[in-house]
Amino acid sequence: MKNVLIIGSTGQIGSDLTMKLRREIPEGKIIAGYIPGFEPKGELLESGPAEVVNVCDGKQIADVVSRYKVDTVYNLAALLSATAEKFPLKAWDIQMNGLINILEVAREQKCAVFTPSSIGAFGPSTPHVNTPQDTIQRPKSIYGVTKVATELLSDYYFNKYAVDTRSVRFPGLISYTTLPGGGTTDYAVEIYYAAIKGEEYVCPIGAGTYMDMMYMPDALRAAVEIMQADPDKFEHRNSFNIASMSFEPEELAAAIRKYIPTLKLRYEVDPVRQHIANSWPDKMDDSCARKEWGWKPEYDLDSMTRDMIGHLKIKLGK
Ligand code: SER
């Protein structure tokens, strides 16, 4: 991995991943792909090349891949689960037509492709506890439908055309750089901001709703390590369960109150998000990722909470 195109570089994952790769691969070109309206700013803009790359425009992708001799594409453009329910056709266009545009460029120009899957690739009939790597995947949300199709299409391009596609199923991701938007797991980020600002947090997900979650540094490490792993050891490709922690809102609030005892939490459950959350795993089994490419998380709820609060206090000037 040397010359890397990150599509969706100004989003929650992209903004952190672009900076990590620029630090770790100084000899390479790490291109921040963005669409108008989501321009990179500050450090992200100043530390390396940036190009307009819309996933829905195959020619634009092909042009940037060829000009920079890109060997790896991180495909991070997506509508998250709750937003996708509002705009299902747009979600399909970005997630599926976008993916096939990238896979075609990768086939022609021989690059590797990482497209994240998600806990959203599972549904109500999936076993919720210790969700196996290979199990029932019948999601009901359009986000989930596109994630399952992404996994299948990525495997298809590997099997038929030897395109080096790899992927992980991300839990809800918690980070302090860029906010997620329109996801079911967003509450687990927003609650930290409220705690630090001294505001009451109104939680859209009900108490007792368990979901897999992960701190961004672990998620970024997974995204990089899987692309650098020895593929001879892979029995799977698209996509690996990865896990680090599972909690429900009361447990998260209690972990934050160890550092900010004043945090107040109230519930106004959003039926769309709650319905989606109920259909997702409580906790995934990630033993295949551990065995096939050495995945291992570093953060737990307490170490993440300490780190999040430290960084957010600086960011918010508190
Ligand atoms: N975090 C995403 C969402 O909530 C799931 O991958 O939509």
Ligand 1 centre and the CA of 66: distance in Å?
A: 32
Q: Give the closest residue (by CA) to ligand 1 atom 6.
A: 118
pLDDT higher than threshold 90 for residue 181: no
CA-nearest residue, atom 3 of ligand 1: 183
What is the structure's pLDDT at 308? 98
Pocket of ligand 1, candidates 118, 148, 280: which has the most ligand atoms within 8 Å of its Cβ, to mutate? 118
Which one is catalytic: 143, 176, 201, 299?
A: 143
Mean pLDDT confidence for 264-289: 98
**Which tens digit of pLDDT belongs to each residue from 211-237?**
999 999 999 999 999 999 999 999 999
34 belongs to the catalytic site:
no
* pLDDT in the model for residue 222: 98
Residues with CB under 6 A from ligand 1: 80-81, 118-120, 143, 170, 172, 183-185
Span 102-139, pLDDT tens digits: 999 999 999 999 999 999 999 999 999 999 999 999 99
Q: Would the pTM of this model clear 0.85, i.e. be above it? A: yes
Distance between Cα 69 and ligand 1 center (Å): 32
Which DSSP string do the residues of the chain spell out, in sequence order? Answer: --SEEEETTTSHHHHHHHHHHHHH-TTS-EEEEE-TTS---HHHHHTS-EEE--TT-HHHHHHHHHHTT--EEEE-----HHHHHH-HHHHHIIIIIHHHHHHHHHHHHT-EEE--EEGGG--TTS--EEE-SS------SHHHHHHHHHHHHHHHHHHHH---EE-EEE-EEE-SSS---S-SSTHHHHHHHHHHHTPPEEESS-TT--EEEEEHHHHHHHHHHHHHS-GGG-S--S-EE--SEEE-HHHHHHHHHTT-TT--EEE---HHHHHHHHHS-SEE--HHHHHHH-------HHHHHHHHHHHHHHHTT-
